[in-house]
Amino acid sequence: MLTHIRPVAAVTGALVLAASLTACGGSSAASDEKVVTVYSADGLKGEAGDGWYDKVFKDFEKRTGIKVKYVEGGSGEMVQRALREKSNTQADVLVTLPPFIQQAGSKGLLQAYAPQGSDRVDGADKAADGTWTSIVNNYFGFVHNKKELPEAPTSWEELLDARYKDRLQYSTPGVAGDGTAVLIKAMHDFGGQAPAMEYLKKLQANNVGPSSSTSKLAPKVDKGELLVANGDVQMNFAQSKSMPNLGIWFPAKGNGKPTTFALPYAAGLVDKAPHAENGRKLLDFLLSEGAQREVSAVGGGFPAREDVKPTDANAVALAGLMEGVEVFEPDWADIDENLTAYVDAWKSATGS
């Protein structure tokens, strides 16, 4: 049975510009535009236009007349882009994973706004200062090719086997949210930074190499180019609908229990957002009961609102997937403070 520890809230990907952006520095004319610009970690938009974002953005536009302009990339990548644009803000809403949502807050990229429905989100899943709130809960995981590797590996140690040489890949820590999650989980499972880096140094012999996008790894696993890659439950579960060879699993250390931790998508209103009122309306809509009920049915994720308890087929399957997996809670304050040092240690250990 899943021991649920409620997450401290916020994936990954090569930069995708779904619509051309206009420089609307914050003038009254800009604020009157019927548009809202979202910078987001990937995973919630479907490859075939069938993801949760696709559905809720379409519904939002139909209800409000406000067009959503969407920019997608790695969690760290989105924060860095928003930071570069701080003197000429382009984004209205930022959606990213921890520890990058905390990083966005500490760098002054977000302004306080409590969306309607956020009172139904657990206190641990939103910022104490009101700068961000989880909109979709999620968990870190790995995928394997079910055709070529019918039985998923059970431990980190198995991945050191020669059969995985050049058939294993994980996204880049410090750039991708799920790549950073590899570090976080390894440090937890191996009992600290030093033993985790010692392991990842060994694993590098099998690793294909860096990838800024976690979402691009799943298709490689599905095709059999890779046997194993990192990911997250929501994104990979959604991808598995069109990628039948994807299987989700959670590594353990040795013969221990498989572990994971919460990697929610968290959203905040960008400081000096050019269309702040439209951003508030979108955040309200994303946390509305209707949108939250579709998180599992459409998006393959877990609702952020505690009062929304879906019973659709996806929700049942997701609950089954998490059975027997131990969920731990990282020290996000420590990770936010020391992320650069941890990433530097990983670069040194792996020669990346």
Cis amide prior to 210 (ω within 30 degrees) = no
Q: Which of the pair, 75 or 54, is modelled with greater confidence?
A: 54
Task: Kindly indicate the confidence band of residue 31, based on its pLDDT and cuts at 50, 70 and 90.
Answer: low
Average pLDDT for 287-313:
96
Average pLDDT for 155-173:
97
Q: Is the pLDDT of residue 15 over 90?
A: no
What pLDDT digit, counting tens, does each position of 143-154 carry? 999 999 999 999
What pLDDT digit, counting tens, does each position of 206-249 carry? 999 999 889 899 999 999 999 999 999 999 999 999 999 999 99
Q: Is the pLDDT of residue 5 over 70?
A: no
CA angle 208, 328, 325 (to 5 degrees): 75
Q: Which regions of the chain does DSSP assign to beta strands (E)? A: 16-17, 35-41, 67-73, 93-96, 110-111, 133-137, 140-145, 168-169, 228-232, 246-249, 259-261, 265-270, 302-303, 326-328
* Mean pLDDT score across all residues of the chain: 91
Contact yes or no for 302/138 (Cβ under 8 A): yes
Task: Kindly indicate the confidence band of residue 290, based on its pLDDT and cuts at 50, 70 and 90.
Answer: very high
What pLDDT digit, counting tens, does each position of 108-118 carry? 999 999 999 99
Query: Using CB atoms within 10 A of its CB, is residue 59 exposed (0-12), middle (13-18) or buried (19+)?
Result: middle
CB atoms within 10 A of CB 51: 23
- Distance (Å, whole) CA 197 – CA 140: 19
Q: Residue 137 has what pLDDT?
A: 95
Task: Kindly indicate the confidence band of residue 68, based on its pLDDT and cuts at 50, 70 and 90.
Answer: very high
Q: Is the pLDDT of residue 278 over 90?
A: yes
Q: Is the pLDDT of residue 335 over 60?
A: yes
Q: Residue 33 has what pLDDT?
A: 87
Least Cα distance to 79 among 6, 26, 140, 132 occurs for 132
Question: What percent of the chain lies above the pLDDT cut of 90?
Answer: 84
Global model pTM greater than 0.85: no
Least confident of 4-8, 78-82, 322-326: 4-8
SS3 (DSSP) at 234: helix
